[in-house]
Amino acid sequence: MDARASLRASANCSPLPITSSVRRKPSQALIFSISPWIARCASRSSRCSVSLRRDVTTPLVERRSYADEFVNMELPSVMALSPLDGRYVQKVKELRPFFSEYGLIHFRILVEVKWLLKLSEIPEITEVPNFSENARTFLESIILDFNFNDALEVKKIEKVTNHDVKAVEYFLKQKCKSCPEIAEVLEFFHFACTSEDINNLAHALSLKEAMNTVIFPTMIELCDAICKMAKENAHIPMLSRTHGQPASPTTLGKEMANFAVRLSDQGKKFSQINILGKFAGAVGNYNAHKVAYPTVDWPSIAADFVRSLGVEFNPYVTQIEPHDYIAELFNRVVQVNNILLDFDRDIWSYISLGYFKQITKAGEIGSSTMPHKVNPIDFENSEGNFCLANAVLSALSMKLPISRMQRDLTDSTVLRNLGVGLGYSLLAYKSTLQGIKKLQVNESRLSEDLENTWEVLAEPIQTVMRRYAVPEPYEKLKELTRGKAVTMDSIKQFIEGLDLPEKAKSELLKLTPHSYIGEGERLAKAVDDAVDLKNGFKLL
């Protein structure tokens, strides 16, 4: 007997089987796409479970894991409207358990079941007595065993109700009729709830878990990869370019360190964002709750319930949680994306300058017509997908906090796109990571550029001249360098003719574009001191 069969046997209750008509028509279930625009049909009706460990005292975020069979389920891709569910599905499939229709239904079921369990613990609600261990195990098994066929059944019910949350309620009532103890209290499913009580928590849980288990680990991997680039190339001098023109040299590693530190700084700020939930009824006042059970402290009950799911409680709401936290979260993701978009463009430019070569892979085509080319396609792909990600995330962050009076339904359809912006972000992160793995530093090209730009030493020379009060140092260097070819010999000749102390003159004569890197190498080597990948990139 397997674990799930054992659970049901101990509960002396058997969930009602899914009707054969649904099993025969899995193509009716359009439930696995990340994008809500795509009517994607499942290719088979095989069981795809989302597992929960049975330790119900463990916080939800820590005990939810996803079966590989679900994540890897093959679905038709060539007819997909969105590339997230078509061309790029293998790169973003980890988000399916959170943002597909399947994922939303599962999170709704989780909230509904947990609310019934909570009601059974409230002494004043005598109509729902404390459940036996068998009954609690049975209810937990509905979450534990939720599968593809369950999702199909909910969608079948929704065709009749034309209401997605009500379909979940009816599904649970049908599922629990076989357990006598729960069958006595079926009408307490969805008790005093408005649909948004269920939806807002389902969306909060999907966001929190997707960020913590998929998005943040990929951000961390990317930041770590850039840190390694910084340390490995800390000593390699590189010509800077400000306004596209040759400028004071830096090191390749130091320029990579800049991006790693920027990403780390943003990562630290995610933990300051509270994922919020409401559970206060139709307009946020516990109106129905108070009429049914006047003596119950409903605000405290709601706060305890929401926090038990790993979500912070918002006591002041209308029918909806106002979504300000989603706007804050997505704006932070947009800023991370902007930093990486900046990185993509810089790496693209360095590749075009020849500072990086790209490691080729046997069989790959760089250009359909020019055999010699190896295009920086990964960074270009990443840049394009960051643009799409930020467009969607910004649109959601601007729209979601706005709702007419106590609510309108515009947020309902918009919230179904939470996975779209994050999907394009994940796709971009993976493209950048793939591009980084192909990079090979071309030190000879970096050295060549420095050797051809001795004019960059005009800055340190005129600065030393200022120290020793040589008249018009800037103007003298301007006359020497602007619009003229500057060579090692012309620079040395200029220095030798200066009225400077011999020690200062000697130091200047030792200087080359390759050695004029200031603290660049030290800063690059110390990047780990400035980057924190343990305490950032998490939602608490």
Q: Residues with catalytic annotation?
A: 243, 367
Residue 64, SS3 per DSSP: strand
| Closest to 425 measured CA to CA, from 391, 389, 395, 393 | 389
For residue 357, list its beta bridge partners: 440
| Unique residue bearing structure tokens 């459940």 | 131
Alpha-carbon gap, residue 248 to 240, rounded angstroms: 6
| Unique residue bearing structure tokens 């036996």 | 132
Any idea what the Cα angle at residue 369 is, between residues 366 and 375, rounded to 5°? 25
| Closest to 83 measured CA to CA, from 367, 480, 381, 348 | 381
User: What are the distances in angstroms from CA 54 to CA 3, 65, 67, 114?
Assistant: 10, 12, 15, 14
Contact between 63 and 390 under an 8 Å Cβ cutoff? The reply is no
In angstroms, the first-to-last Cα distance of the chain is: 38
Contact between 322 and 280 under an 8 Å Cβ cutoff? The reply is no
Element (H, E) at 51: strand 50-52
**302: which residues sit within 8 A by CB, 6+ positions away?**
278, 279, 280, 286, 313
| Closest to 286 measured CA to CA, from 321, 253, 317 | 317
Contact between 520 and 256 under an 8 Å Cβ cutoff? The reply is no
Alpha-carbon gap, residue 129 to 116, rounded angstroms: 11
Element (H, E) at 97: helix 96-99
Any idea what the Cα angle at residue 239 is, between residues 516 and 374, rounded to 5°? 150
Alpha-carbon gap, residue 190 to 170, rounded angstroms: 10
Measure CA 383 to chain center.
16
Contact between 79 and 195 under an 8 Å Cβ cutoff? The reply is no
DSSP category for residue 179:
S
CA atoms within 13 A on the CB side of 317: 26
| Unique residue bearing structure tokens 């009707």 | 19
Determine the length of the chain: 540
Write the single-letter amino acid at 472: E
Alpha-carbon gap, residue 431 to 429, rounded angstroms: 5
Phi then psi for residue 242, to 5 deg, are -110, 135
Phi then psi for residue 18, to 5 deg, are -70, 140
